[in-house]
């Protein structure tokens, strides 16, 4: 399988995130893709290529233009205030407050565009986030061109980033950008399956009123888990998109038996939709040893995930999302990919 990766993805490196009331080292850091790349090379999965640069146009096909421009200039405006540490919001707009005015001050703009305090924006964030999106776009382009599958080794991840907000370690929604590019290049129907432990709120929101991109997400129940405010089973799409959004919220402690039953359910819905192409938001934080998650999948289950997806017999773009048990992330991610290839 072809892998697309850029060393520029390493340029996003937050110092600390707010976790359980304390500033702790960022769970989402460059060692994650380092270990995935090491494992890809160890099993000789296939060629590893650098992305090409698609510019901002495909980013603005799914994101608000002002939001993209904000991400591009945030660091410069932040440091212009004499700061050289990570940019983190300290407030957020809440119910009943104005959302039709974007503050002028940089702290206010960060408050407007951020969804949480766990996603520091750093000197290299814009470069890394655009490199990450370019990895997804390049993988999508290769699959559109006839490859059966490709893997975008993206970081920072993307699925929590929505039309006009960032958070959950995500800035640009790599998978959504890839899905939109596939549509723009001739695919009639795209299925986007999100198997990350956390609900793909950004991806859901981006495609919620559309029938041309089916979204399915298996994740921890938002009653008890981040992102808390989206991901319930009764979110089924709106307008033309009604019936094309499928959430599978699962309880803490979900094991392989329960998780794979939900995967089976999702796969049947994908089959019924008859997509031209499948995009997989590949999070590996369903792993039993993940430090911030509470499912119990073991490493030997991930090849079965890949094999089930291969049985759909649809060209597939894998886009890396979460997974924070770094020592095992390479094995777990690559297990899905080899399971897909060997099926
Ligand atoms: C990103 B992705 C733990 C803090 C968790 C947000 C998690 C973002 C996950 N106490 N902060 O979906 O893997
Ligand atoms: Zn996650």
Name the stretches of the chain with pLDDT < 50. none
**Residue 341: per-residue pLDDT:** 98
pLDDT tens digits for range 289-304:
999 999 999 999 999 9
122 lies in which domain range?
Answer: 2-342
- Average model confidence (pLDDT) across the chain: 98
- Between CA 64 and CA 190 the distance in angstroms is 21
pLDDT of residue 191: 99
Alpha carbon 204 to its chain's center: 11
Give me the number of domains the chain comprises.
1
Where residue 329 sits, what CATH number does that domain have? 3.40.800.20
The pLDDT value given to residue 275 = 99
Q: What is the pLDDT of residue 79?
A: 97
Q: Is 161 helix (H, G, I), strand (E, B) or coil?
A: coil
pLDDT score recorded for residue 223: 98
**Residue to substitute in 118, 157, 161, 165 for testing ligand 1 pocket (most ligand atoms within 8 angstroms of CB):** 118
Cα–Cα distance for residue pair 113/116, rounded to 1 Å: 10
Is the pTM value of this prediction over 0.80?
A: yes
In the residue annotation, 160 being an active-site residue is answered as yes
What ligand is nearest to the CA atom of residue 27? 1
The pLDDT of residue 156 is 98
> Residues near ligand 1 with C-beta < 6 Å?
19-20, 118, 157, 160, 168-169, 196, 198, 226, 283, 285, 292, 321-322
List, in sequence order, the alpha helices (H) in the chain. 31-43, 57-60, 65-80, 106-113, 125-144, 174-184, 201-207, 256-273, 302-310, 326-342
Instruction: Output the pLDDT for position 74.
Output: 98
- Structure-token match 């769970």, residue found: 27
> In this structure, which residue's CA is closest to atom 8 in ligand 1?
168
> Which ligand 1 atom minimizes the distance to the CA of 159?
12
Write down the pLDDT at residue 112.
Answer: 98
ipTM of the complex: 0.98
Contact between 303 and 266 (Cβ < 8 Å): no
- Phi/psi at 161 (5° precision): -75, 130
Report the pLDDT value the prediction gives residue 189, as an integer from 0 to 100.
99
């Amino acid at each position: 399988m072809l892998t697309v990766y850029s060393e520029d993805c390493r340029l996003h490196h937050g110092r600390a995130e707010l976790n359980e009331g304390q500033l702790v080292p960022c769970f989402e850091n460059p060692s994650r893709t380092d270990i995935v790349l090491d494992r890809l090379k160890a099993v000789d999965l296939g060629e590893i290529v650098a992305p090409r640069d698609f510019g901002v146009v495909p980013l603005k096909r799914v994101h608000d233009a002002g939001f993209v421009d904000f991400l591009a200039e945030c660091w410069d405006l932040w440091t212009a205030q004499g700061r050289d540490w990570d940019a983190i919001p300290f407030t957020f707009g809440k119910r009943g407050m104005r959302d039709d005015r974007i503050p002028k001050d940089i702290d206010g703009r960060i408050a407007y565009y951020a969804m949480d305090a766990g996603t520091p924006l750093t000197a290299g964030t814009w470069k890394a986030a655009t490199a990450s999106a370019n990895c997804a776009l390049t993988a999508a382009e290769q699959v559109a061109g006839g490859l059966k599958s490709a893997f975008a080794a993206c970081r920072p991840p993307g699925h929590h980033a929505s039309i006009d907000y960032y958070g959950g370690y995500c800035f640009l929604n790599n998978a959504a950008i890839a899905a939109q590019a596939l549509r723009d290049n001739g695919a009639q129907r795209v299925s986007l399956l999100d198997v990350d432990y956390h609900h793909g709120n950004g991806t859901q929101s981006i495609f919620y009123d559309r029938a041309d991109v089916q979204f399915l997400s298996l994740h921890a129940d938002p009653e008890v888990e981040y992102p808390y405010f989206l991901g319930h089973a009764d979110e089924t799409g709106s307008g033309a998109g009604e019936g094309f959004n499928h959430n599978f919220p699962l309880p803490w402690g979900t094991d392989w038996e329960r998780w794979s039953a939900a995967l089976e359910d999702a796969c049947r819905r994908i089959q019924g939709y008859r997509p031209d192409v499948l995009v997989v938001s590949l999070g590996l934080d369903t792993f039993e040893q993940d430090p911030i998650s509470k499912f119990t999948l073991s490493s030997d289950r991930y090849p079965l995930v890949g094999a089930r997806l291969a049985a759909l017999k649809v060209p597939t773009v894998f886009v890396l999302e979460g997974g924070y048990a770094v020592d095992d992330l390479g094995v777990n991610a690559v297990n899905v990919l080899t399971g897909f290839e060997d099926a």
